[in-house]
Amino acid sequence: MTGSSSRPRLALQGEKSYEWAKSRMKIIDRIVKDFSRPKALPLEGIRLGICLHITKETSVLVMALKALGAELALCSANPLSIQNDIVCFLKNQEVQLFATRGESYKQYNECMLKVIRFRPDIVTDDGAELHFMVHRFWDNKIGAGTEETTSGVTRLKELESKGHLKYPVIAVNNAQTKYLFDNRHGTGQSTVDGLMRTTSVFLPGKHIVVCGYGWVGKGVASRLRGMGAIITVTEIDPIRALEAHMEGYEVCTMISACSYADIFITCTGANKIIGKEHIDIMKDGVILCNAGHFDFEIDLDYLKSQDQAPKEIRPNIQLFSINGKRVYLLASGRVINLVGAEGHPPEVMALSFANQLMSIIYLAKKLDSLESRVYDVPAHIDRRVSEYALNAFGINLEYSTDRSFSI
Amino acid sequence: MTGSSSRPRLALQGEKSYEWAKSRMKIIDRIVKDFSRPKALPLEGIRLGICLHITKETSVLVMALKALGAELALCSANPLSIQNDIVCFLKNQEVQLFATRGESYKQYNECMLKVIRFRPDIVTDDGAELHFMVHRFWDNKIGAGTEETTSGVTRLKELESKGHLKYPVIAVNNAQTKYLFDNRHGTGQSTVDGLMRTTSVFLPGKHIVVCGYGWVGKGVASRLRGMGAIITVTEIDPIRALEAHMEGYEVCTMISACSYADIFITCTGANKIIGKEHIDIMKDGVILCNAGHFDFEIDLDYLKSQDQAPKEIRPNIQLFSINGKRVYLLASGRVINLVGAEGHPPEVMALSFANQLMSIIYLAKKLDSLESRVYDVPAHIDRRVSEYALNAFGINLEYSTDRSFSI
Amino acid sequence: MTGSSSRPRLALQGEKSYEWAKSRMKIIDRIVKDFSRPKALPLEGIRLGICLHITKETSVLVMALKALGAELALCSANPLSIQNDIVCFLKNQEVQLFATRGESYKQYNECMLKVIRFRPDIVTDDGAELHFMVHRFWDNKIGAGTEETTSGVTRLKELESKGHLKYPVIAVNNAQTKYLFDNRHGTGQSTVDGLMRTTSVFLPGKHIVVCGYGWVGKGVASRLRGMGAIITVTEIDPIRALEAHMEGYEVCTMISACSYADIFITCTGANKIIGKEHIDIMKDGVILCNAGHFDFEIDLDYLKSQDQAPKEIRPNIQLFSINGKRVYLLASGRVINLVGAEGHPPEVMALSFANQLMSIIYLAKKLDSLESRVYDVPAHIDRRVSEYALNAFGINLEYSTDRSFSI
Amino acid sequence: MTGSSSRPRLALQGEKSYEWAKSRMKIIDRIVKDFSRPKALPLEGIRLGICLHITKETSVLVMALKALGAELALCSANPLSIQNDIVCFLKNQEVQLFATRGESYKQYNECMLKVIRFRPDIVTDDGAELHFMVHRFWDNKIGAGTEETTSGVTRLKELESKGHLKYPVIAVNNAQTKYLFDNRHGTGQSTVDGLMRTTSVFLPGKHIVVCGYGWVGKGVASRLRGMGAIITVTEIDPIRALEAHMEGYEVCTMISACSYADIFITCTGANKIIGKEHIDIMKDGVILCNAGHFDFEIDLDYLKSQDQAPKEIRPNIQLFSINGKRVYLLASGRVINLVGAEGHPPEVMALSFANQLMSIIYLAKKLDSLESRVYDVPAHIDRRVSEYALNAFGINLEYSTDRSFSI
């Protein structure tokens, strides 16, 4: 899409995107101001290795970290989500950045290695790929980390339970101000956005199956219903199934839903939620789409085994012909909100990244005093982020909370 | 309302109410069946002291406990919520029951004392009034307890933290299958019901302030919006305030809301949420109503100080004239869903009471092995209740969960 | 329910109910003020014959008509919807009123005849029963009429099309300020109210079939969804079916819906919408309920043929045992919002009755100049009512509309 | 965006877009089949002049018209909404097409003239620009027309009322199956789509003002609320204002809304709804956006007078600095759903275009028998379209409607 654009033009576009996102992310601005007040910058001399989706919102976090004194190296959490204008802009800002949109798996790994060779003190990751690579190439230089996603935290906790975790990691995902808003409302909106941008399909009256009713599923179901769709939820957890039922969603098995559903969206974090046994009995013209972090929720191997040469209908729509039936796969089964749209809106990323920012400052201070465990975001940081947010949205609490605050 | 009805007619009405509730509470039936299978009844020889709202749903729990072998004595958690037909029905069933609708505070206490004198092994309470009275008249006979409400659990945890708790208590309120459904959906629906029965006020376009955005506030706000009202939320907790904001509710201070609101509903569990400073600046014709357990959320003393002789407009509507302004108070500031309607619908009480039932069976088994602490409902019971519920609602999970199960 | 209450106490209760309704129906007050300003009262010397549901809201209309100079006689549009306290209050106000709650069909007809013998100039009706009786006992004294309901207007238009209509009738039902609000939002809310008061059934997750998607069906479906139910719509009109589909409701045939529905609500105005072929295949425990004007939408004959002695479970719930299956019928198949609750809320009745009031004033002025046709409410009255309403609700339009106005 | 793409590649992309839209517009397919059945094609020998937005959906209509025998010439209803891949595809299909994305006003007029010079028998327009140009260059060859939009119909009715209309025009916009779905649900969804694609702004909790509560305003308000926004409606019509109020929207004046609103969306069809008096008191960072057909609803002259060099932040976002305040204008004030997204979804365009298609067939048959008036779509066509739609969506009516049908 950007083939013929020259780099300076892209960098200029990137700067504008950065400015636009920044104007929507006042929380970050405010934190930078509050923590720059004393003479010493809190991240002076700290080296950061960052693996996040390279979006306009990430550029706001990166520039904030720089402003607080950090030196940093950056790679991408997903080769398909890289925004080239942001890459150019950040390079112009003298950020060490290793990422090219559409890079191969090998290049992608190479980029992560470059970030490790940068010898960061703290590693920030989205999905735990970088954390795992660090563990493989461990050289006891790295002091701490943060992790953005549910999937990543799950993987790190497994590592911890086996006694293999080699440095303290803050599970940013577990902050209330992260998962209550980012996972639910951020993914909810951006998944609807991704679905509409990719397909421009009409939502009112469509039967849409939301697989999984965690925070992501809750957000996606709620927003799609708000757009007029008729939602069915599938779940394996009985309490969540009951929650969905009482919110007025149809709850049934995948097999039952296949007979009538127009669209499926996976939100489980689990493997092959949509498999052969489902695809074989779906309706002609069905649309498959994934809102989870990894691309394994839909059985891509089965699809490819049935049609070796799927037709690319539009960008991010592949048509598989399976026994005379048309099955449309969106974004190659990758996360639809990032690949098919722009990821979470800036206002909600501001909440997640405020947790990242304050967690990194916290870690920088405590580098030597924490154990090699997966920590929750400290409660006082979580609460403080919510206060910054209310302030940015112009909302007054019933009682003012003028407590003094320090990380 | 029932003045001239004879007792047998009331008992017959009570029996029908019990049958109606039972037909909606299949979960309880099923648990009774499952736990009666072995020869020995699980509550054989156990004496229960119960303080709950005397409603048709409670009669279903009571009859289930009897069927499982328990002996029991019963008083009411609120003199105004007693349903006389149920009283007559239960007395006919040879349940020891001490309660009269509209009884005085003294009589109400007297009834609780009678339950204590029954010398129960296990005490089940709703609000912790009975637990506190037991503690005052302690005679080391009582072995364990359960508690139904948020307010009650809070009070018992205070007792525990001071080292004064004298027996183990299971906080039924803290079961996910209780608070996710009973507090949110049960109170949500029955508060709308109570408001409409009491006032028949038109909801579309009304500005309604929901004070507090815990589970009860969430439920009440959501259902009132569903009925067409415009909701404002007031909160003191910043994270909850942010949640309300992102659900699309106006969030502001009580003082700001007073200038435009038509109706206020308190859902906080806290004292004098609506006070002089608010009442003085409210609009003419404003309606005040409480959905919390206790009647202290609205400053009744202030209302009475301004108008010693409020006019009773309809049952449960008092008109206070304050400086030429009309202020309507519903249900004397008592909990609107129980006093103005019939409390939670049977289907949702079935969830709470399934937790009560299974917790009591659990306690009966462990009477000697638990410490004097406030316990959560064991996770396997919580989950099992959700499975019973899905079964009763005819819902299939993605995967069947045919694990063997024992309490 | 009111057996032992003395008449004066009932009359006092009626007065309070009237005052309460009046405080919610400011529009009526304002119209009375505006039209009383000149010395001559607009209805001086006019005799009105009125057949409406005898509710607190009707008492507000009646008192307004009296205040504007009319003499009137009143009977009830439905023997089951009569509120006795209002009867007593109106009799105390020297209104000629012929109605007793629960009166037999013969008595009910007798009451209508008494209103006709009062020799009204203008007849106001709800359902067209009185209009038809007037036509049978016609004595060329009656000059004009108004009609409140869809069903009634349909019947009168049939009369008109055959050339049998004997005086001009204003179809109040056809005013936008009537059907957009009364039929949709008034019936919507009060049907939910009636359903909850009668059954206290839990709505979240319930499968409810709304038969018919006219204004009433639209309102009922929308509010029940707002309470958490899962709505299916059945329709015979393809455009309305498409509207329901795009609002996100399941649309299917009655036969399909019978396999899964928990509750059916008829809103069609048509005959035997729920018949043998449906009842025979419904689920055990199904609830049947009617929101239309007449009690013929559910095939009561079939129900009675299958169980001659249905059990009265609670007031307004009858249990029919049909081949071992339980079928619950609410309010004997009569209109649930009036029989099971209090009918439309006062705020919305104020809109309908403002149209009645201004149409009657208009007819009084034009008694000799209109043809024997069914007229719509004049557009300037319709608009004026909406302006009164906005004013009463404290809402400002984008531009003020200070046009002078006369009927 | 497509600068370097070669024409064949674009044409291929266009074909895929056409195929994708066609797979979502089964109604059109079915109509073509039904009307091709007899040997003679119904549009054989008919010349059509068409001025519509050049989108993938329009290509489906165009190909259907061709398949039914028509010869046609095509220009665009808006220079900014032209999709280049579709242009290339249609040219490859030997359609005479005069349109280039971003063409100047002069070129745009030139294209319309070329369509007129094609000497069509029937003219199909969207906005009535072409109809007006035909009237200026009238040569009594053109026999009839159709018009797609509210704005266009209004203009043509003015022409008619002055006796200047020179041929019969069918107001496709006035079909129920058009305005109930296209204007409300089509614009509703695509406006949300356009807003998100253009800005990626977070919607939950945002205060959004919807100016105008006609069908477009109703759809936009409903969908934005479904996405979590808090909606305020402004209206000049009292009945519509009352409707908005009872749907639970805040209703107030523009001036009041300016103090708190984050985003404004105009849906009125009227001139300068947002003017100096509003812009001057709006908040910093406010976003202005138009969903109406013409670009005059926001006072662009005033904006430009205050900042001659607005900054282009992203495609379709201009930043005006006005007295130190940031005002963001989307899509240069042009219709956001077409300029910022892809216009209505194909499923809903299928409804509008089914009306177009069947109206054109009807006109072709009646070319000599209609008067020079603005006609509604014949009711039997309207109904038939709804039946085609239900069929396409797999929905069954309560009763089958197997009436024979001919245009």
Smallest Cα–Cα separation from A385: which of A24, A68, A31, A25?
A: A31
CA dihedral for A191, A194, A199, A204, sign (positive or negative): positive
Task: Answer whether C196 sits within 8 Å of B202, measured CB to CB.
Answer: no
Q: Is C177 on the interface with D (CB under 8 A)?
A: yes
Give percent above pLDDT 90 in chain A: 81
Low-confidence ranges of chain C (pLDDT < 50): 1-4, 400-405
Q: Which residues of D touch B228 (CB under 8 A)?
A: 246-248
Q: Is A228 on the interface with D (CB under 8 A)?
A: yes
Helix (H), strand (E), coil (C) string for B67-108: HCCCEEEEEECCHHHCCHHHHHHHHHCCCEEECCCCCCHHHH
D289 contacts: CB under 8 Å, gap ≥ 6: D194, D195, D198, D263, D264, D265, D266, D329, D330, D331, D336
Q: Check if the beta carbon of residue D228 is closer than 8 Å to that of residue A185.
A: yes
Mean pLDDT lowest for which of A138-152, B156-170, C373-387, D177-191? A138-152
Quick one: pLDDT at residue D141? 74
DSSP conformation class of C230: E
The phi and psi torsions of B376 (rounded to 5 degrees) equal: -75, 155
DSSP conformation class of B173: G
All partners of chain B with 3 or more CB pairs under 8 angstroms: A, C, D
Q: Where in chain C is the domain with CATH 3.40.50.720?
A: 186-339
Here the tokens at position B256 are 């700001």
Task: Answer whether D241 sits within 8 Å of C397, measured CB to CB.
Answer: yes
pLDDT in tens, D64-78: 999 999 999 999 998
Q: Check if the beta carbon of residue C302 is closer than 8 Å to that of residue C326.
A: no
* CA-based radius of gyration for chain C: 21
CA dihedral for B66, B68, B72, B75, sign (positive or negative): negative
Among partner residues D180, D235, D383, which is closest to C398 by beta-carbon distance?
D235
3-class secondary structure, C145: strand
pLDDT in tens, A65-82: 999 999 999 999 988 778
Integer Cα distance of A123 and A141 in angstroms: 11
pLDDT in tens, C239-291: 999 999 999 999 999 999 999 999 999 999 899 999 999 999 999 999 999 99
**Half-sphere exposure (Cβ direction) of C34: Cα atoms closer than 13 Å:** 17
Among partner residues A236, A252, A396, which is closest to B399 by beta-carbon distance?
A236
Q: At what angle do helices D7-24 and D84-92 cross, to 10 degrees?
A: 90
The phi and psi torsions of D373 (rounded to 5 degrees) equal: -135, 165
Q: Where in chain A is the domain with CATH 3.40.50.1480?
A: 7-174+345-393
H or E element in which residue A155 lies: helix A150-161
Q: Which residues of A touch D24 (CB under 8 A)?
A: 201-202
- Pairing type for strands C311-314 and C230-234 reads unpaired
pLDDT in tens, D314-356: 899 999 999 999 999 999 999 999 889 988 999 999 999 999 9
pLDDT in tens, A103-114: 888 998 999 999
Q: Check if the beta carbon of residue D232 is closer than 8 Å to that of residue D249.
A: yes
- For residue B274, what are the β-bridge partners? B298
Interface size A-C, in CB pairs within 8 Å, comes to: 30
CA dihedral for A233, A237, A239, A240, sign (positive or negative): negative
CATH class of the C186-339 domain in this structure: alpha beta
Quick one: pLDDT at residue B243? 96
pLDDT at position A35 over 70: yes
Q: How far is A2 from chain B (nearest CA, A)?
A: 35
Exposure b/e, D114-132, CB count within 10 A at least 16 = b: bbbebebbbbbbbbbbbbb
Among partner residues C253, C254, C395, which is closest to D241 by beta-carbon distance?
C395
CA B340 to chain centre: 13
pLDDT in tens, C138-155: 766 789 999 998 889 999
Integer Cα distance of D292 and D281 in angstroms: 23
Among partner residues C228, C229, C248, which is closest to A230 by beta-carbon distance?
C248
* Confidence band, pLDDT 50/70/90 cuts, at residue A5: low
Give percent above pLDDT 70 in chain D: 96
Q: How far is B73 from chain C (nearest CA, A)?
A: 27
DSSP conformation class of A206: -
pLDDT in tens, A330-378: 999 999 998 899 889 999 999 999 999 999 999 999 988 899 999 999 9
CA angle C296, C300, C301 (to 5 degrees): 115
Among partner residues D204, D205, D245, which is closest to B205 by beta-carbon distance?
D245
Quick one: pLDDT at residue A79? 81
pLDDT at position D129 over 50: yes
B379 contacts: CB under 8 Å, gap ≥ 6: none
Q: At what angle do helices C7-24 and C84-92 cross, to 10 degrees?
A: 90
Q: What CATH number should be reported for the domain whose range is C7-174+345-393? A: 3.40.50.1480
Q: Is C248 on the interface with A (CB under 8 A)?
A: yes
Integer Cα distance of D311 and A72 in angstroms: 31
Q: Where in chain A is the domain with CATH 3.40.50.720?
A: 185-339
10-residue averages of pLDDT along chain B (407 residues):
65 93 94 85 95 95 97 90 91 92 86 94 95 85 90 93 95 94 95 96 97 96 98 95 96 95 95 95 97 93 97 94 96 94 93 97 92 96 94 79 46
Mean pLDDT lowest for which of A4-8, B122-126, C231-235, D152-156? A4-8
CATH architecture of residue range(s) B7-174+345-392 = 3-Layer(aba) Sandwich (3.40)
D279 contacts: CB under 8 Å, gap ≥ 6: D299, D302, D303, D306, D322, D327
Q: Which residues of B touch C186 (CB under 8 A)?
A: 202
Q: Which residues of D touch A345 (CB under 8 A)?
A: 200-203
Q: Which residues of A touch C230 (CB under 8 A)?
A: 248-250
Integer Cα distance of B212 and A397 in angstroms: 11
DSSP conformation class of A128: S
CATH class of the A185-339 domain in this structure: alpha beta
Higher-pLDDT residue of B293 and A286 is: A286
ipTM: 0.90
Task: Answer whether C204 sits within 8 Å of A230, measured CB to CB.
Answer: no
Please state the length of chain C.
Answer: 407
Here the tokens at position B345 are 């619908």
